[in-house]
Chains A and B, each alone.
Chain A
Amino acid sequence: VQLQESGPGLVKPSETLSLTCSVSGGSIRTYYWSWIRQPPGKGLEWMGYVHYSGKSRNNPSLKSPVTISMDTSKNQFSLKLRSVTAADTAVYYCARIDYGDSVDSWGQGTLVTVSS
């Protein structure tokens, strides 16, 4: 399976960060689909996941409100992070999760900078 992120690389403070992940080589109707971010020079942080069944879960430690949704007709899933601040500047990865087990596939990542 291949994953590819797309979306703006620059977002202004207090605005909404929106990214889309396009999945190819496999159906989005299986597995769990996730967003993981990595601030510059820091470790990885899981943000949340969505499943075809409608099940979703966000990391409660995130300060900004998160919505992860899926469009099965396009084999895509999306991230919206609202009211962003400079602390949300990071490389954002979309990823596939084998629930309860491991992250087994990653997109190439996209850098999003929050700045006016």
Chain B
Amino acid sequence: QSVLTQPPSVSGTPGQNVTISCSGSTFIIGSNYVSWFQQFPGTAPKLLIYRNNQRLSGVPDRFSGSKSGTSASLAISGLRSEDEAEYHCAAWDDSLSGPVFGGGTKLAVL
């Protein structure tokens, strides 16, 4: 069971907008930055968003992150077939002194 909660899957058609949620506790998401990673099958996760809403250089502006209270979201606008991947959220856990992750959300582009 992952510390952060994500939906197992979401889907959309090309051109649509989708949102992936990530929820946690006051002491984790509520107190620290949230990051988002994109992972294709058989490859390592890649950092997309850090500090809640900062895009890594080279990440298309179709990807955006936000946080409110104990929840965070990754929004993808103008969905493309190449966005089909698994997306993971993460945040620092002060009691653990380390990062915790969501279970991952598989995005299907139909």
A binding-site residues for B, Cβ under 8 Å: 34, 42-46, 48-49, 57, 59-60, 93, 97, 100-109
Assembled-state Cα–Cα distance A104/B76 (Å) = 21
> Most chain-B CB neighbours within 10 Å: which of A57, A101, A105?
A101
Q: Which residue of B2, B33, B44, B104 is within 8 Å of A106 (Cβ)? A: B44
Q: Does B68 contact A (CB under 8 A)?
A: no
Assembled-state Cα–Cα distance A95/B45 (Å) = 10
Chain B's interface: helix, strand, loop or mixed, by majority? strand
Min CB–CB distance A106 → chain B (angstroms): 4
* B101-A43 in contact (CB<8A): yes
Assembled-state Cα–Cα distance A48/B96 (Å) = 10
Contact partners of B37 in chain A: CB under 8 A = 103
Contact partners of B60 in chain A: CB under 8 A = none
Assembled-state Cα–Cα distance A49/B46 (Å) = 19
* B50-A101 in contact (CB<8A): yes
Contact partners of B100 in chain A: CB under 8 A = 46
Assembled-state Cα–Cα distance A46/B4 (Å) = 13
Considering only residues 51-103 of chain B, those with a C-beta below 8 Å from chain A are 51, 88, 90, 92, 96-103
Min CB–CB distance A2 → chain B (angstroms): 11
Q: Which residue of A42, A101, A105, A107 is within 8 Å of B33 (Cβ)? A: A101
Assembled-state Cα–Cα distance A25/B35 (Å) = 23
* A103-B43 in contact (CB<8A): no
User: What are the interface flags for B14-51 relative to A under an 8 Å C-beta threshold, 1 for contact and 0 otherwise?
Assistant: 00000000000000000011010100000111110011
A-B contact pairs, 13 of them (CB 8 A): A34-B98, A43-B88, A48-B98, A49-B98, A59-B96, A101-B51, A102-B33, A102-B47, A103-B37, A103-B45, A106-B45, A106-B46, A109-B43
* B98-A107 in contact (CB<8A): no
**Given A44-B101, A46-B100, A57-B98, A100:B92 Cβ within 8 A:** yes
Assembled-state Cα–Cα distance A16/B100 (Å) = 25
Nearest 10 pairs between A and B by C-beta? A43-B103, A102-B35, A44-B101, A106-B44, A102-B50, A43-B2, A46-B98, A109-B44, A57-B97, A43-B104
